[in-house]
Chain A
Amino acid sequence: MSVIQGEKKKKVGVLLLLSMLGLLILLPFAVTTTFASGEEEAVAEEGDGEPKMGKDVFYKEEGQFGPISSRPAPELVYPDDYGTYGDYQSRTILWIANQQHLYFGSFVLAVPMFVWVMELIGILKYGKDPKEGKKFDDLAHEMMKISLTAYSVTAILGGILIFTFLALYPGFFGYLASIFRPVMHLYALLFILESGVLYVYYYGWDAFNDGNGDWKWTHLGLCTLLNAVGIVLMVMANTWVSFMMSPAGVDEAGHFLGDIWKVMHNPLMVPIVIHRILGNMSFGGGVVAAYAAFRFLSATNQAEKAHYDWMSYIASFMAVMFLIPLPFAGYWLMREIYGYRQQMGITLMGGLLAWVFIMQATMIATLFITVNYYLMQAMGRIPGSERYHGAFKFILAILVISTISWLTPHTLVMTPAELKAMGGAQHPIVGNYGVMSAKNTAINTMITTTVATFLIYQRSNFNLKVPWAWKGNIFLVCLFALAELNILFLGIYGYFIPANVRIGLSVPQVASTLTCLFVGSTINAKMLKGAEPIGEIRWGQMSRRGAYALFMLAVAFTWTMAVMGYLRSSVRLHWHVNEILRDNSPWAFTNPLGYAGNINSLNVLLFWTMLLFVFWLASLYATKSPLAREAEARGEVVAASH
């Protein structure tokens, strides 16, 4: 009787909690409506009759004009509008504060997306195989555990970032706050909602857990809500960044024209959001894989080793799944940047910042080589994979050739004597590889090769049993070979046609790669139906090199994010808000590459130091007390302390 009453109380409690959360969702909207209506009134009261109208810097035709609803962008003066700590560059301090917040923010927003997938798989599998279902559920729970500590760090870093803005860039921050005022509190309130949902979701894990019953689905619903709020938060933060690059919803003097959506929906908002979501997912997967590799290397028994080996595989699979479309999203973003301001695109890819793209190419090539290397090492624990070992050296050769081609610069930094000896800034032979035709060919080749390695990995443990297996094999070989030939053909053809035609070649190149990805993996999955395993996968027996490769992968992700973030931010040159708010501080110049590289490395180092602390905390949490260990040895069930 008391058990039933307890159950009832629990259900009522959960329902109350959920309705409270629902009300919290509505709260920010109510607040925004109040803000928005207040603003309209303020504008109406200002003038005698009609409010003064301003002309939007971006939106044309309908909606081109809007009521002037704020002060103009201020003309900032150094040192009055800037804060300093001695002679140190305030910009660098802000750069570090921003980057650290972004790293942790990306991580804590990406992990719940994986957790959602893992929990769903767990629920779906539970009905057929409870043991397997629980395995995925535990994995989701463990991922969330790492994210929870990181969440506190993110909030602290967010506070540090705000204080840095207020202390060092009060003039700039004041202007940005005047534009985004209608949504700034919405952002803060959503944070409360995010925290509330996160804590209920995490701490309610066991309370909601009835395998795959109603409460488990409710728990998954909480994760959906968590992700929905997380994505909105990320989109909002991204609109500030994209507004600084490509302002809209303001006039030439920087007056806010009364429509916050136009400010948020600026020309680069959507591609930046898409690129960042994909990037976050890859990065999050990489970091979780590194955590699993860390636990794999420090595991003291075989069961633990096997668990973390499996976890590292799942996390790295997620990372790779989002890494593959990432270059295409990046390409789209660049296209939009060219569309918005051609000069901005040229500064990025052909001018001042072009060398940073060479650094980026090196990092992304490292990512792809590392992914392939990890898969090859991971195949060491799969019986049957020996059949494919011979192909590894060819795969690596293709990847290395593509890398060399990709990171060849168009022009070199040289002394006058070297310039004279070479007969120009461009090398007569090597210089040919420094153009987009060659670079696009290289990256598409690398992605196609990675897809091929992955398909090999998937089938390495099986003897195919479908009667049409031989036809499927022929089809896959033809598909990959001809796709690669097409990519090569389009790359070479690009040298013989003018630039405005050449730019069109990249799309069929990408389409060839995507065909391999989607058609190849579908056919491969169909071929694996009813396939016979050659032996049991020896989880826990991956080489240590494979685990180190995962560290390499995660660090390469971190460094790539640092370098590309620097690039995106630097393209504004001497503007805080492009063409609206000028940077009048002494640090309005573009940093030398060496300095930028050093600060990026420092950022990576700082992040990983903090992250190792988070990992250590997570492992500390998992350590059982001596009493619990003894009880477990006796076979008693010990109530979870969390």
Chain B
Amino acid sequence: MSDNNEETGKAGMGAKIVFAAICTAALTFYYFVALNWVLMGPAQNLAYPYK
């Protein structure tokens, strides 16, 4: 972070990108966990519909 940013108290572009990347990664991670959670159960029932 440059001196200028320290003076103004504003985050630089680099910090913003890192922050956004972490947040997006976390949210996408939650999405895939939910996807696994929701789909795994019904998928097993789908697999043997005729038993």
A residues adjacent to B (C-beta < 8 A): 335, 338-340, 470-471, 474-475, 477-479, 481-483, 485-486, 490, 500-501, 503-508, 511-512, 515
Closest 6 CB pairs of A and B: A507-B43, A504-B44, A504-B43, A486-B32, A503-B47, A508-B39
Contact indicator B40/A482 (Cβ below 8 Å): no
The count of chain B contact residues (Cβ–Cβ below 8 Å) is 22
From A339, A478, A508, give the contact of B36 (CB < 8 A): A508
A508:B40 contact, CB within 8 angstroms: yes
Interface residues of B in 2-32 (CB under 8 A from A): 17, 20-21, 24-25, 28-29, 31-32
Chain A, Cβ-Cβ closest to B47: A503
Contacting residues, chain B, for A515 (C-beta < 8 A): 31, 35
Please, which residue of chain A has its CB at the minimum distance from the CB of B30?
A482
Q: Which of A474, A477, A482, A507 contacts B29 (CB 8 A)?
A: A482
Cα A338 to Cα B49 with chains together (Å): 10
Can you list 14 residue pairs at the A/B interface with Cβ under 8 Å? A335-B46, A339-B49, A474-B20, A481-B25, A486-B35, A486-B36, A500-B44, A500-B47, A501-B44, A503-B47, A504-B46, A504-B47, A506-B43, A508-B32
Which B residues are CB-close (under 8 A) to A481?
25
Chain B positions within 8 Å of A340 at CB level: 50
Q: Which of B21, B35, B41 makes the CB contact (< 8 A) with A511?
A: B35
Q: Determine which of B20, B35, B49, B50 lies in contact with A508 in the assembled complex, contact meaning CB atoms within 8 Å.
A: B35
Task: Give the one of A470, A478, A481, A506 with max B CB within 10 A.
Answer: A478
Residues A507 and B46 in contact in the complex (CB < 8 Å), given A478-B24, A483-B32? yes
- Please pick, from A339, A471, A503, A504, the residue contacting B20 in the complex, using a CB distance under 8 A: A471
List 6 extra interface pairs beyond A475-B24, A504-B40, CB under 8 A. Answer: A470-B17, A474-B20, A483-B32, A486-B35, A503-B43, A504-B39
Q: How far apart are the CA atoms of A630 and B31 in the complex, in Å?
A: 65
Assembled-state Cα–Cα distance A508/B24 (Å): 20
Q: How many whole Å from A583's CB to the nearest CB in chain B?
A: 26
Cβ-defined contact, B17 with A490, below 8 A: no
A477 to B22 CA separation, bound complex (whole angstroms): 11
User: A512 to B32, Cβ gap below 8 A?
Assistant: yes
CA distance A500 to B36 in the complex (A): 16
Per the bound structure, the CA–CA distance linking A94 and B47 in Å amounts to 35
Q: Which residue of B lies closest to A473 (CB)?
A: B17
Closest B residue by C-beta to A505: B40
Q: How far is the CA of A500 from the CA of B43 in the complex (A)?
A: 10
